[in-house]
Chain A
Amino acid sequence: MLAFILRRVLQSVVVVAAMVVIVFFGVNVVGDPVWLYVSPEMNQQQIEEVRRALGLDLPIWQQFAVFVANAFTGDLGTSFIHGQPAMRLILERMPATLELAFVAMLFSILLGLPLGLYAGLYPHRASSKAIMAGSILGFSLPTFWVGLLLIMIFAVMLGWLPSTGRGPTTTILGIETSLHTAQGWSHIFLPALNLALLKISLVIRLTRAGVREAIMQDYVKFARAKGLSEKRVIFVHVLRNILIPVVTVLGLEFGSLVAFSVVTETIFAWPGMGKLLLDSIIRVDRPVIVAYVIIVVVLFVVINLVVDILYSILDPRVRLQHKEA
């Protein structure tokens, strides 16, 4: 068991290291950011001074060595644009993004589970077919365009909800949040729904497939034969069994919610780290791009690692398979 965990941790470290190398060299090889910071009137000497100030006069591998050495002290470089440590810029915006991803996750469970349950229990009803068609649409609709539609309908035409920004925030138990006020919820509703759309479709499909498989099983027949109420059979016996795969998949998808928040945050002007990434790409703020990628990749790797380890604890077959391979 310990050997398995150690091997997986080692693999994860290799993945992160590989990504750091690829992204650092990839981002820094193309173009010359010095030209963003000099004006046409500057002479060659002044340009060289700017270059030195940014640390761009060193050969690329020395820049990388400096970067790695600093990274171990928690310093991922300084933003060209903001003049602040890239790490701090991202961590400042992280709570907003995590809050958005969390509410989106909540929506996908609250909407996806009941709809999937219904479609699984009554697969031949027209309404179930409509739900499934809707879930296909959910997979096909481009996220950004749905965001525009939501703004058009709920913000512009109906005027019910604000289309930009985040509500007032306070710090509760060390977590910065805007969910303590109704205003905060009114701000987060549209972006979270937009971000959740794909996951709602996913949960509907997973739940439906799970229900259809579960109601054929002997334990359900037995529960019915025992004379339990239909409500109890479905909500206790069936639901408990289908929740395991649904929750696992959603856990794995949390990382992709964070990645997709780049799109949603841009449309709804949500002050999160996705919007920061996009602004940095447009303005060629390399240190922030590199730092963002590293932080998100670490997030992904940690999620995958935790899920893998939990699985190997729950299911010994996973462990053995890895040993053979």
Chain B
Amino acid sequence: MTDTAAPPHDLVTAVQPTTAKDKAETPFRRFVSEFLEDRVAVGALILLLAIVTLAIIAPWITPQNPYDLAQVDIMDSRRPPGTTSMEGYTFILGSDGAGRDLYSAIIYGLRISLSVGVLSGLIALAIGASVGLIAAYVGGRTETIIMRIVDLQLSLPSILVALILVAMLGKGVDKIILALVIVQWAYYARTVRGSALVERRKEYVEAATCLGLSHSRIVFRHILPNCMAPLIVVGTVQTAHAIALEATLSFLGVGLPQTEPSLGVLISNGFQYMLSGRYWISFFPGVALLLTIVAINLVGDRLRDVLNPRLKR
């Protein structure tokens, strides 16, 4: 952390496009053009936007609502990709064991997977960032205790922590989101504390203190905005991680219930058919999951390169 004077400020304005445009055009433009330099990252971003759009407009682009029983015919179960259904449309990706169109089920499943991942990520970010900021600002014993808990949790693999939490909390969407939040908050707390420790010693914080501003104002209005860059990077990677973790738990049968069929649940349902050669029921939801995770990770990778001045080559 040698050249910390100017960059963090630029970065903050850079990642807030609405305010950046009227106040300072250059940093945002620089950020965008740097991001666009990498063709892989641009491809990943387009893919990610496409996936999110598909998930949002699901009802208008799918031939059936896979969870409306009136639209599903059990006679259509386990059709290979390309078969024509009883209703007359084509099963582009085949149908599953209950006769649902797999393409529709995947798009609807994306909705659930994405919302669980993003929601848990945002809650964990809010909690983790607050705790990390408090630890860095207050210091002393509070900081030691908080960071001990963070270290303890991060020393265990997330899948193990998640399984323990699921064993404690039980099944259900709210429980899974809660478990994912508890798994993730420590990453945010550690990240924020790291950058807040640096920011706290800077002149603008000293100036704010001299002006007699309240502690909460200094922490959340002055220090937090300058810690946003690493938070955004960790946020993208963690969201991908949360989606994968939820899918893993659902696949293992301890995640989301059948009434909330995320991609993991779809893959889990198809597993029993895999050994009889009906690969598509598990395979295509898995491809959708993979594309989502890879796209988020690639975008996150590029964001880290662009936002972090230390990693610049």
Point out the residues of chain B lying under 8 angstroms from A84, CB to CB: none
Residue of B whose beta carbon sits closest to that of A155: B275
CA distance A318 to B195 in the complex (A): 24
8 Å CB contacts to B: which residues of A264-296? 266-267, 277-278, 280-282, 289, 293, 296
Q: Are B168 and A140 in contact (CB under 8 A)?
A: no
Q: Are B169 and A30 in contact (CB under 8 A)?
A: yes
Interface stretch (choices B67-75, B123-131, B283-291) = B283-291
Is B57 among interface residues, defined by CB-CB distance under 8 A? no
Q: Are A142 and B163 in contact (CB under 8 A)?
A: no
Interface stretch (choices A143-151, A174-182, A202-210) = A143-151
How many whole Å from A305's CB to the nearest CB in chain B? 11
Using known A-B contacts A262-B159, A262-B163, determine if residue A142 contacts B168 with beta carbons closer than 8 Å. no
Q: Are B160 and A259 in contact (CB under 8 A)?
A: yes
Using known A-B contacts A18-B152, A262-B159, determine if residue A140 contacts B290 with beta carbons closer than 8 Å. yes
User: Which of B164, B271, B289, B293 contacts A23 (CB under 8 A)?
Assistant: B164
Q: How large is the interface on B (under 10, 10 to 19, 20 to 34, 35 or more residues)?
A: 35 or more
CA distance A277 to B248 in the complex (A): 15
Point out the residues of chain B lying under 8 angstroms from A259, CB to CB: 156-157, 159-160
Is A256 among interface residues, defined by CB-CB distance under 8 A? yes
8 Å CB contacts to A: which residues of B154-184? 155-157, 159-160, 163-170
Is B108 among interface residues, defined by CB-CB distance under 8 A? no
Is A21 among interface residues, defined by CB-CB distance under 8 A? no
A interface residues, tally (CB under 8 Å): 45
Point out the residues of chain A lying under 8 angstroms from B156, CB to CB: 259, 297, 300
Is B307 among interface residues, defined by CB-CB distance under 8 A? no
CA distance A311 to B168 in the complex (A): 36
Is B122 among interface residues, defined by CB-CB distance under 8 A? no
Residue of B whose beta carbon sits closest to that of A301: B155
Point out the residues of chain B lying under 8 angstroms from A29, CB to CB: 168
Q: Are A293 and B164 in contact (CB under 8 A)?
A: yes
User: Which of A15, A26, A144, A300 contacts B164 (CB under 8 A)?
Assistant: A26
Is A139 among interface residues, defined by CB-CB distance under 8 A? yes
Is B297 among interface residues, defined by CB-CB distance under 8 A? yes
Q: Are B170 and A31 in contact (CB under 8 A)?
A: yes
Using known A-B contacts A139-B297, A145-B286, A156-B274, determine if residue A304 contacts B155 with beta carbons closer than 8 Å. yes
CA distance A151 to B166 in the complex (A): 27
CA distance A259 to B162 in the complex (A): 11
Q: Are A30 and B252 in contact (CB under 8 A)?
A: no
Is B240 among interface residues, defined by CB-CB distance under 8 A? yes
Using known A-B contacts A259-B157, A289-B167, determine if residue A142 contacts B293 with beta carbons closer than 8 Å. yes
Residue of A whose beta carbon sits closest to that of B301: A136
Residue of A whose beta carbon sits closest to that of B297: A140
Residue of A whose beta carbon sits closest to that of B271: A148
Point out the residues of chain B lying under 8 angstroms from A19, CB to CB: 152
Proximity bits, B258-287, A CB within 8 Å = 1, else 0: 000000000100010011010100110010
Using known A-B contacts A27-B167, A156-B277, A156-B279, determine if residue A142 contacts B248 with beta carbons closer than 8 Å. yes
Per CB-CB distance, the 3 closest pairs between chain A and chain B, nearest first, are A26-B168, A259-B160, A145-B286
Inter-chain pairs besides A145-B251, A297-B156, 4 sampled, C-beta below 8 Å: A140-B297, A155-B275, A262-B159, A281-B166
8 contacts between A and B (CB under 8 A): A136-B297, A145-B247, A259-B160, A260-B159, A263-B248, A278-B163, A282-B254, A289-B164
